Structure 1
Amino acid sequence: MGAKILIVDDQPAIVSVIENYLKSEDYRTVIAFDGIAARKLIATESPDLIILDWMLPEMNGLELCKEIRHESSIPIIMLTAKAEETDRVLGLEYGADDYIVKPFGLRELVARIKTVLRRVSPGQDASLIITHRDLKIDMKAHRIWKRNVEVILTPTEFKILCLLASHPGVPYSRLQLLNQAMGEEYLYYERSVDTHIFNLRKKIEDTISEPSYIQTVFGIGYRMGDEK
């Protein structure tokens, strides 16, 4: 069987359509109709990915997403009727890995699921340990520590950090980082890289206002600082 997907939406008709289609694609499914129930299922079912509606009773999707990110790197795809760019950026800032606007196509949803899950699965050359200053990155286990304290990253954040840390001092454009972390189909989300970088800095920098790990290269993009 395929990956286990937790579907969190308060509209039973939408849940039923998504569930039936995912099952036809060989995914396993778990259902929750509100944020509180979803939180319990995350603990008991250990889903591989969460499809999370923004507007939920009891606890909205953004609050749940933020709570999950404090303790887990489970991939999250936000599903919402909010179509403004500011809403999409807000979802990413709270830790979502992707963002799909209603109404949506089921084939598109499955394509996004596959893309996000690929970011979690280690590649053939992922048996590497990268050590950079106070950071230790285990590319096979998808784990990172700073000064021996584990830092929880989303799959997208992890991919971006691995690319930067693998080549300290080398500048990468937003498009290069986006292509590496999310794939070519996401290149029209170029500015979302800034949100992922901001989230990364909050997690690994000692001072966000004066970042020493992930540095901005004006007019180009970002690089990993190569200072020892």
Structure 2
Amino acid sequence: MTDTVVLVEDDQEIAEIVLMYLHAAGLKTQHFADGVGVARWVQAHAPALVLLDLDLPTKQGLEVCQEIRAFSNLPIIMTTAKVEEVDRLVGLEIGADDYVCKPFSVKELVARVKVQLRRLNREAMVDSGLKVDADSFNLSMGPAAVELTAIEFKLFHLLYSNPNRIYSRAQILDLVYQDYRDVSDRTVDSHIRNVRKKLASLGIEQELIRSVYGAGYKFEPLP
């Protein structure tokens, strides 16, 4: 997971203000003015959190939320001008972690983002003890540390951010490799082997990246 926050907001004025406050809080951002393409980007880049407007021009926020929940449990905060109780319930029932009604205080919104990120970081540390640094491509476990190459980290991060989800080699080629005309299944397997060796060098005995016969690979968290 990276420290990037995805903002899906079609109102340009609101988007600019929210982005400014998120940057001031030290967070990276990715902005979409519509829901089209959001889930695919999230799956490929594994951001930390999504701020998702409910009412969008083409693809609505509820549909985007459902698409993301099909492969990831990352925090989703929905924003909307619809204040009816039924909308709030529907938004939360499909997997949103929080719900903020417009007009909102941008400071309060950023505070809610920070709360979700702190919770996520605590859970990640409790779950595995494996620290992942997206800025340096470093993985560490206690005093031991190892550095991945850019492509190794992108591959690892895809699996790590979606634990227990199986990715086929074709999906990995599509999501990890920018131009895979000259990349084969063997290249994927080779990078998987390299990542496994580096994880083993951290003293982790369990094989975190599991091969699923006939299906692909998945990340299996430490118990």
| Count of aligned pairs between the two proteins | 134
1:72 to 2:90 alignment: no
SS of aligned partner of 2:37: helix
Distance 1:32 1:124 in 2: 27
Distance 2:101 2:21 in 1: 18
Structure 2 unaligned blocks of 5 or more = 129-159, 167-223
Structure 1 pair 23/99, CA: closer, same or farther in 2 (3 Å)? same
Distance 1:15 1:37 in 2: 18
Distance 1:107 1:80 in 2: 16
1:15 maps to: 15
1:38 maps to: 38
User: Is the 1:78–1:100 contact (alpha carbons within 8 Å) kept by the matching residues of 2?
Assistant: yes
Deviation at 1:42, TM superposition (A): 1.3
2:59 maps to: 59
Distance 2:127 2:24 in 1: 33
Per-residue CA deviation, residues 187-217 of structure 1 (Å, 9 max, x unaligned), is: xxxxxxxxxxxxxxxxxxxxxxxxxxxxxxx
Distance 1:121 1:76 in 2: 15
SS of aligned partner of 2:72: coil
SS of aligned partner of 1:52: strand
Distance 2:33 2:98 in 1: 20
- Which structure has more relative contact order (CA 8 Å, sep 6+)? It is 2
SS of aligned partner of 1:121: helix
Distance 2:37 2:163 in 1: 30
Letter in structure 2 aligned against 1:84: E
Letter in structure 2 aligned against 1:68: I
User: Is the 1:10–1:33 contact (alpha carbons within 8 Å) kept by the matching residues of 2?
Assistant: yes
2:110 maps to: 110
Distance 1:41 1:70 in 2: 14
TM-score (norm 2): 0.54
Deviation at 1:124, TM superposition (A): 9.5
Letter in structure 2 aligned against 1:117: L
Deviation at 1:108, TM superposition (A): 0.5
SS of aligned partner of 2:77: strand
User: Is the 1:120–1:142 contact (alpha carbons within 8 Å) kept by the matching residues of 2?
Assistant: no
Letter in structure 2 aligned against 1:51: L
Structure 1 pair 26/62, CA: closer, same or farther in 2 (3 Å)? same
Distance 2:39 2:71 in 1: 12
Distance 1:117 1:49 in 2: 8
